[in-house]
Structure 1
C-alpha cells in the first residue's frame, strides 16, 4: 500500500497538520495539507500546506520568506493528524506567524482574558508587501 493511502483524509481530502520546532519543541502553527501538499513536503523537505482560503497549495514562506525545513513527518495513532518537526528559516529565523511572532499560538488565557503572551519580532507590514 502507498504511504499516502494510509493517511485518513477528511471529506474534503485534507488532514490537519501541526508544525513543531525541532530544537525547542515549541508548537509553531496549525495548518492543513492535501495529498499533493504532503507529497511535495516529503519530496522537497520543505513545508507545503493547502490554503483553504486561497484554494491552492501554499509553500510556507512564499511571501514572507519564513520557510520551514522539515526534518520529520509523524502521524498520530488514528492516522488523521500529522506532526511536522521543522526548523524555521528565513530573513528573520524563528518567525512562523504572519503576525511577526515566533508562534501562531501567542494568545494566553490569564484570569479569564486572552493576552498576547509573545512579542512581535518584526512588524508584519514590513514582511508582507
Structure 2
C-alpha cells in the first residue's frame, strides 16, 4: 500500500453527499465506519464489522474483505486464519456515505460459530427469548 486512499474526504465534495458520484466515506469520531457483508448469491446479511480507512483501502486494492478489530485494535483479513475468505464482488455505500455494504462470495461460514451468518437467532414477539434458525 502506498499510504494513499483511493477515496475523497467528505469535506472535499462540492456537491451534496447524497447526489455525488465521488466516493467519500464518513468515518466516525473513532475513525471507523460500519460495514455489513451480504452474500452475493442470496442477499442474506452475513455479518457486521467495522473498517478504518486502511481496511477500506486494502479491501478496494486486494478484492478481499479487510476489517478493523475493535477488541484487538488491529487490521484483519476475513478468513486469514480460518480460510473462510470473503471475495468482494461489489462495494456499496448508503445515501450519506456513513456505512458500507460489501457484497461478497463467502468461502465457508461467515460466523466464528461456524454458522453461515452471524445473524442466526430471531427475537421472539415478546422480546424475551431467541429462537435459533439457519
Q: Does TM, normalized by the shorter one, top 0.5?
A: yes
Larger relative helix fraction: 1
1:110 to 2:124 alignment: yes
Alignment root-mean-square deviation, CA: 1.1
| Superposition misfits of 4+ residues, deviation over 2 angstroms | none
Q: Which of 3, 25, 31 in structure 1 is aligned with 2:7? A: 3
Larger relative strand fraction: 1
Secondary structure of the 1:43 match is: helix
Aligned length: 113
Whole-Å Cα distance in 2 between the matches of residues 28 and 38 of structure 1? 18
Task: Indicate the structure (1 or 2) with the bigger Cα radius of gyration.
Answer: 2
Kindly state the Cα deviation for residue 59 of structure 1 after the two structures are TM-superposed. 0.6
Secondary structure of the 2:34 match is: strand
Kindly state the Cα deviation for residue 78 of structure 1 after the two structures are TM-superposed. 1.0
TM-score, with length taken from structure 1: 0.84
Structure 1 residues without counterparts, runs of 5 or longer: 119-129
Structure 2 residues without counterparts, runs of 5 or longer: 1-5, 10-23
Whole-Å Cα distance in 2 between the matches of residues 50 and 64 of structure 1? 17
Q: Are the counterparts in 2 of residues 4 and 35 from structure 1 also a CA contact under 8 Å?
A: no
Whole-Å Cα distance in 2 between the matches of residues 110 and 42 of structure 1? 38
TM-score, with length taken from structure 2: 0.81
